[in-house]
A and B are shown apart, each in its own frame.
Chain A
Amino acid sequence: MVWEIAEGVQKAFQLIVSGDFAVIDATFRSLYISGTATLLAVSWSIPLGILIGSGNFRGKHLVKGFFNAMLGIPTVGLGLILYLFLSRAGPLGIFHLLYTPTAIILGQAILITPIAVTFTANAVESVEPEIKDLAKTLGASETEARLAVLREALPSTFLAVIASFNRAIAELGVAFMLGGSIPGLTRVLTTSIALETTRGNFEFGIALTMILLAIVFSLSFLVNLLKRK
């Protein structure tokens, strides 16, 4: 077992150093697809999270509960539901999005929305309520005071973005169901890993996993570095 993993690590280095096209291709596609999905998800999740976190409306607990529960949605399950929408026979079939990178981007964006929303809402909620009063008494207007609260929530929100990206890049179900793992078009790291595994190419699978881990780890490392500053 250990030997196989060790071989995988060795193979990973070989593949990267030799610039293996399939590996580089899948890696960059993963980064592009999940990165864009994260940006997209962030563009609606953070405002939504702020709204939920700072708001005090009826049914707030229900909304939070909903997003909390959605954190655990199985990726294949979501992939299946979205497949039914994007399929030619589905309501969005006319856009011909199935088996395109766009489909995965959309799917992953939806997948990570609960994470981004929940983390952001929690970040905003965890800011001391006195911060708003403080900003106001120091001369901030109502909106500036709200911004001050948001700025306090910013570091945790940044974590939300990273967590979302990590979930996106590491998920398989959506990428497979909506992308179909077409080489050069929708094949990403996770679908490559799945394919190489079913093909019995374990070292190759381990190698790709190492690359995925390297991406996720270096991001976490970067975040820690930024946090310390």
Chain B
Amino acid sequence: MNKTIFTWITITIIAVTTSIAGTTYYFTITMQGRRRLVVSTTTSLYDTGLLDAVEEKFEEKNPIDLYFISVGTGLAIKHAKRGDADVVLVHAPSTEYTFLKEGYGVCRKIIAYNFFLIAGPEEDPAKIRNLNVKQALTRIIEAGRNGSIVWVSRGDDSGTHVKEKTLWASIGFNWTVLREEGWFIESGSGMGKTLLMANERNAYTLADVGTYLKYRNEGHITLEALVSEGKELINVYSVIAVNPEKVSTVNFQDAITFIQFLTSQECQTLIGEYMKDVYKQSLFNPAVEILKQENSPITTWIREYAFFNGTECPSDYRNGHPELYK
């Protein structure tokens, strides 16, 4: 009996000590004098591998370890509000504005942009190739309703999905009504899976360029980018720090350091060049320089789409860091 109890106590002690020891060990080797910054990020930035490249450069320069949690815009903002992230990297301006107005988000900076694209089968039964976005979407609805095509919607709360809803709204349709229709299906999962599903069903879908190029390049999909330009398709990535006055536990100081790094010349170049040699086109375009120009059409598009009251971050939400907006 005593032997059994003894064995038992031993197992328990081993279990508890291993878990504690292991964890502390990880912390000491991974953090030796380093601080940690938790970044909740949209999947499209992380899944392309861009953030790995950013992390490497940033950690070389700063005694800060970046912990990227790749979850999508909706959950990223939820994390931030609950104090589980110090910074968010997202791409859904309307959601971001709410985040700011609720007092959680501060020091927003637009760091990059690219374009969403409407991908569809090569034969293009809806005949949308090279149409403008609104015409293309109208054709898709027509073709869908007469049963000749299928549309795959993300159906989660990701930035891409928010964008899709806005696009339908722009031609006078409500996504919640459309989703009830037979030709309209929801994947309920990430961009990659959605693309695979659309490819499988020979369907149309809205995709971010990064994921699309990667999947197309690796041969997982044969869908073509049928509509890929136009101001309606613009996709703007921002970084937002979490307000330390609202969530006391956040690492605000390092968050600012990270934002400064993302908007620096060095990192902006890195963003623009990332994977350019492989795909023969940029996955992401740096936004900081272009926003300083007055007359470029892209600048106008970004302003219309992702600015709040004429600025990327209204002065109330700059939280003592006006230097970011010079």
Contact = CB atoms under 8 A, between A and B. Distances in A.
A185 B67 contact: yes
A99 B19 contact: no
Given A144-B1, A198-B43, A88 B8 contact: no
Nearest to B71: A180
Interface stretch (A36-44, A67-75, A129-137, A211-219): A36-44
B215 A200 contact: yes
A192 to B, nearest CB: 12
Interface SS of chain B: helix, strand, loop or mixed? Answer: helix
A40 B19 contact: yes
A101 B14 contact: no
Interface SS of chain A: helix, strand, loop or mixed? Answer: helix
A93 interface: yes
Contact of A100 (B1, B4, B23, B249): B23
A90 B30 contact: no
Contacts of B26: 100-101, 185
A143 to B, nearest CB: 5
Given A88-B82, A143-B1, A144-B1, A200 B23 contact: no
Interface in A129-174: 143-144, 147, 150
Nearest to B218: A200
Contact of A185 (B12, B30, B214, B249): B30
A198 B193 CA distance: 7
B292 to A, nearest CB: 33
B80 to A, nearest CB: 10
B188 interface: no
B186 to A, nearest CB: 17
Nearest to A199: B47
A200 B14 CA distance: 40
B28 to A, nearest CB: 12
A30 to B, nearest CB: 13
B69 A198 contact: no
A195 to B, nearest CB: 7
A184 interface: yes
B218 A202 contact: yes
9 contacts: A40-B16, A47-B8, A88-B249, A98-B84, A105-B22, A106-B19, A180-B68, A200-B220, A202-B220
Interface of A: 32-33, 35-37, 39-40, 42-43, 47, 87-90, 93, 98-102, 105-106, 143-144, 147, 150, 180-182, 184-185, 195, 197-202
Given A88-B249, A93-B83, 13 more contacts: A35-B18, A43-B15, A88-B82, A100-B26, A101-B22, A102-B20, A102-B22, A182-B68, A182-B69, A184-B30, A185-B30, A198-B190, A200-B215
Among all A-B residue pairs, the 8 with the closest Cβ atoms: A88-B83, A39-B15, A180-B69, A89-B82, A43-B12, A40-B15, A102-B23, A198-B192
